[in-house]
Amino acid sequence: MTRAWSPVETIRRKRDGLALTTEEIENIVRGYVDGRIPDYQMSALLMAIFFRGLDEREMTDLTMAMARSGDMLDFVDDARVVDKHSTGGVGDKTSLVVVPLVAAAGAVVAKMSGRGLGHSGGTIDKLESIPGFRASLGPEEFRRQVAEVGAVIAGQSGNLVPADKLIYALRDVTATVDSVGLIASSVMSKKIAGGARRLVLDVKAGRGAFMTDREAAVELARAMVAIGRKAGLGVVAVVTAMDQPLGRAVGNALEVAEAVRCLRGEGPEDLEELCLVLGSHMLTLAGLAPTPGEARERLSSVLRGGQALERFRRMVSAQGGDGRVADRPEEVLAAAPVRAEVRAERPGWVRSVDALAVGRLAMALGGGRHRKEDEVDLSVGVVLGAKVGERVAPGEVLATVHARTADQAQEAAAELAAAFDISGEPVAPPALVLETVS
């Protein structure tokens, strides 16, 4: 007689450092979603995984078990469909630029995004600062916009990867969030369930990132690429710097306005560069360019020609948003009523801008969440006047705070001054791309 599967035995085996079988992983995920496995047993297994880790096969099995726990979208009939994911950072509005840019170059970008939590902003919050924009799309609406516009950014559907929602909530309260195997499986399960077959990952490393250590970020990138390879996906991971904010705007509406400027070819140099790097890998994976270099030339032409901005307008309008944001963002987007400037006290070169401090200040102003149910003020934030490597004169504006009240603005400005370190010697601009894993 075949011995019945036991969750206790699975926990024990992982506790002792043994690799779990595919069947064990499927049983534990399925059992937890349908309520047969209690929280205390899943918590024990998560802690065992935290200490013992998962090998590539186990990570892939966990990814696929979670992906299959709910609805799964499928775009396999279109080889041009490609997706992009960022592990999150301060001022990271690349999706707002990359999605319409790559779509305008001929690819199809079907992207599901999340809301911000903590100092790292969320793409959906940023888009919802556009009046009327609707992020909640049903599966059929999602597919229809993919077919008609070639670009969509929507929130996750209610039944997409329910296993990940349950397991992540448990990880959050059991100190098991920062496990490479669990992070990689969480990210990749959502991408696979969302229909991704070709995926570019932007893995942030630095002070303002979830992974502050470069080596840890590279390890995570390699883990996700390995999962993708075993699951039959085309995946490239780009490890990028997040010690200072990306671009100059930090805050939902402020970042949308900056993304529009970038789509006009007028954006900050680092934001445009990263969008071209990520976009070139996306276009290559979609089979629309033989090399990233040739893909970059095509994307640069689309950006300068205005097609990317027009695709952004179409995407926003298709989801109920005010398309005039592509022409006059300052008239369409909400603006905070109070501003306060932070000025340099002495001449020099900017040696560092603390991304974590800037992100936390934007959150404290009301632009982010401590808990998922918190309301967000979409108008507040920070705009940098100077970045690392730039020379500043006494009295020059280092940053501008956008706040709801004068007291908030002055308090934030005082704290923001400490986020800048000014050197008496020239400082070289930092590298943006740290490593590429493919």
| Segment (H or E) for 204 | strand 198-205
Whether 186 is catalytic: yes
Whether 171 is catalytic: yes
CA distances from 167 to 69, 184, 327 (A): 12, 13, 42
Identify the active-site residue in 14, 93, 115, 190. 190
d(CA 321, CA 305): 23
Which residue from 366, 348, 433, 400 is spatially nearest to 125, judged by alpha carbons?
366
Give the 3-state secondary structure of residue 82: strand
d(CA 355, CA 352): 9
Structure tokens at 4: 């019945």
d(CA 212, CA 229): 26
CA distances from 244 to 63, 162, 278, 395 (A): 32, 34, 19, 22
Cα Dmax for the chain: 82
Q: At what angle do helices 252-263 and 94-104 cross, to 10 degrees?
A: 30
d(CA 107, CA 80): 5
Whether 190 is catalytic: yes
Query: Percent helix, strand, coil in the chain (nearest 5)?
Result: 45, 15, 35
Q: Are 205 and 211 in contact (CB under 8 A)?
A: yes
The pairing of strands 81-86 and 198-205 is parallel
Identify the active-site residue in 80, 85, 111, 207. 85
CA dihedral 237→240→246→247, nearest 10 degrees, is -80
Give the 3-state secondary structure of residue 32: helix
Which residue from 420, 415, 390, 387 is spatially nearest to 403, judged by alpha carbons?
415
Residues 58, 59, 63, 66: is their CA dihedral positive or negative? positive
Q: How many C-beta neighbours within 10 Å does residue 359 have? A: 31
Which residues does the annotation mark as catalytic? 85, 164, 171, 186, 190
